[in-house]
Amino acid sequence: MLGWDYLPAINGGLGVATYALKESLAKKVVLDFVVPHMNPDSLDMMAYAYSGAKAGATEAQLKSWKEDVEDYIDQVLEMAENREFDVIHAHDWLTFIPALELQEETKKPFIAHVHATSFDRNGPEERGWDYEIEKEAFEKADKIVAVSEYEASLIEEHYGIDPEKIQVTHNAISEIKPYRRKKGFEAPLVVFAGRLVEQKAPWAFVDAASELIRQGFPFRFAIAGEGPLALELMTEVAKRGHADRIFFTGFIPQSQLFDLFAMGDYFVLPSQSEPFGLVALEAARFGIPCLISRKAGVLEVLPDAYLIDPGNAEDITEGLIKLLEDKEMRDSMSRSLAEAASFCSWDQVADQWVSNYESLLA
C-alpha cells in the first residue's frame, strides 16, 4: 500500500482515512505500507497545487517537489525488491506515480484508490500535471475504487473511464463515543472544518456568517483548518468587524476537533466538490445537524442532512435560520445523522477491501 498523507503529519481527510484503513486491514491481510521520506511542508505544498500556479511556486520549488517525488519512486522500488506481494494499492495521484513504475517493473495488479481528483481540487477546466497523472493511472489500473458514487461518476465522465472498471467503497470513521462539552457562551456555535482552499468554499461560510450577524441572529462561528486562503479570510472578517463572532482555530488535531464538535450546534460542509467528506461523518456522529453540499459523496451515507448548493452562502444562511427556528426538525436530524454515522465502520470497509483484492486476484 502506497500513501503520502498520513498521521500525525496530515493535510486532511486523506491522512485520517489512510491511517484508519491501514490499521483495520492489517488485522486481515499481510500489509506493507510505504510513505515518503520527505518534509511534511513539501507534501503540504504539493497537495495544494503541484503545478505551482495557485500556490505561487517558483521554478526552484517545483524542481524540488519533483525531486521529492523521484525520491519517493526510488524508495518504493527499493522496498519492493525485498518483499513478496500480490497487489499494489495506491492512494490518490501522488502515489500513482510510483505505483505505475512498480506495476511496470513487477507486472503486479494495481488498484487506484481515489479519494479526490484534479476535478475536485481545481475544477473541470484544469488539465495540469496532476490531471495527466490521474488519467494515465486510471487507464492503466487494473481496478479503480472510488470513495463514493459521486466520485465514480466524475472519473467516468471527466476521464473517459469505462464504468465497469470502477467500484465504490465508502469511507468510514473510527469508533467514537459522542460527548458534549460546555461552551464559554450561550450562543449556538456553527462549525466549518477543512482546508482553507477554494474547493472547500470557506468564503461561502464567511459570507453566510456575516449575513446572519447583520440580521441579528445570535450564532457564533468557528473555522478549523489552515490553507492558502487563511490570511485573506481573516483579514476580511476583521474588516467587516466580525472578529468577535467568527473565530479561526488554525489546524487542530483530531482530538481537539472532536472537542469542537462536542461544543458545536451545527456543522457546514459547503464544498464546490467533495469526493466524500469524512469530517461531516465525524460531526454527524456527535449528533450535530449538518448542512452539506449537494456535490458531496458523504450524502450517500447521510441522506437526512440539510442540502445546500455548493458554495452557496444564501443556502447556508437560510438553512441555519430554519434549523434554529425548528427544534423538531433539528432534533430529528441530530438523531438520524448520529445513527447513520454509527454504522460506518472501518472494519466493515476493510472487509470490502479484502474482497476487492480477492476479486482482482481471481
pLDDT digits (tens, 9 = 90+) for 329-342: 999 999 999 999 99
Beta-strand ranges (E) seen in the chain are: 88-91, 110-114, 143-146, 166-168, 189-193, 220-224, 246-250, 266-269, 290-293, 306-308
pLDDT of residue 49: 38
pLDDT band of 52, cuts 50, 70, 90: very low
Residue ranges of the domains in the chain?
13-172+345-361, 189-342
Fold topology of 13-172+345-361: Rossmann fold (3.40.50)
User: What is the residue-wise DSSP string for 179-193?
Assistant: -----SSSS-EEEEE
pLDDT of residue 37: 61
Q: Given a cut of 60, is residue 221 above it in pLDDT?
A: yes
Region of poorest pLDDT, from 116-120, 188-192, 311-315: 116-120
Q: Given a cut of 90, is residue 61 above it in pLDDT?
A: no
pLDDT of residue 50: 42
Residue that has been written with the C-alpha cell 437526512 in this structure? 304
Alpha-carbon span 17 to 339, nearest angstrom: 20
Q: What integer is the mean pLDDT of 255-279?
A: 96
Q: In this predicted model, what pLDDT tens digit does every residue of 135-162 receive, in sequence order?
A: 999 999 999 999 999 999 999 999 999 9
Q: Given a cut of 80, is residue 128 above it in pLDDT?
A: no
pLDDT band of 32, cuts 50, 70, 90: confident
Q: Name the pTM for this structure.
A: 0.89
pLDDT band of 10, cuts 50, 70, 90: low
Strands of the sheet containing 166-168, edge to edge, are 88-91, 110-114, 143-146, 166-168
Alpha-carbon span 215 to 69, nearest angstrom: 50
Q: Is 245 helix (H, G, I), strand (E, B) or coil?
A: coil
Kindly state the percentage of the chain with pLDDT values over 90: 68
Q: Given a cut of 50, is residue 53 above it in pLDDT?
A: no
| Region of residue 90 (left: phi > 0; alpha: psi -120 to 50; beta: else) | beta
Q: In this predicted model, what pLDDT tens digit does every residue of 159-183 receive, in sequence order?
A: 999 999 999 999 999 889 999 999 9
The yes/no answer on whether domain 189-342 falls in CATH 3.40.50.2000 is: yes
Q: Given a cut of 60, is residue 256 above it in pLDDT?
A: yes
Nine-digit cell at 288? 450535530
Give strand pairing partners of 247. Answer: 222
pLDDT band of 281, cuts 50, 70, 90: very high
Q: Given a cut of 70, is residue 47 above it in pLDDT?
A: no
Cβ atoms of 293 and 274 closer than 8 Å? yes
Cα angle 77-30-175, degrees, rounded to a multiple of 5: 115
Cβ atoms of 307 and 299 closer than 8 Å? yes
Q: Given a cut of 90, is residue 237 above it in pLDDT?
A: yes
Cβ atoms of 148 and 277 closer than 8 Å? no
Q: Given a cut of 80, is residue 65 above it in pLDDT?
A: no
User: How many of the other CB atoms lie within 10 Å of CB of 90?
Assistant: 27
Cβ atoms of 194 and 202 closer than 8 Å? yes
| Average pLDDT value over all residues in the chain | 89
Of 68, 2, 79, 77, residue with least CA distance to 37: 68
Q: In this predicted model, what pLDDT tens digit does every residue of 66-85 receive, in sequence order?
A: 777 777 788 888 888 888 89
Q: Given a cut of 70, is residue 40 above it in pLDDT?
A: no
Residue 8 phi, psi (nearest 5)? -90, -10
What single-letter DSSP state applies at residue 3?
-
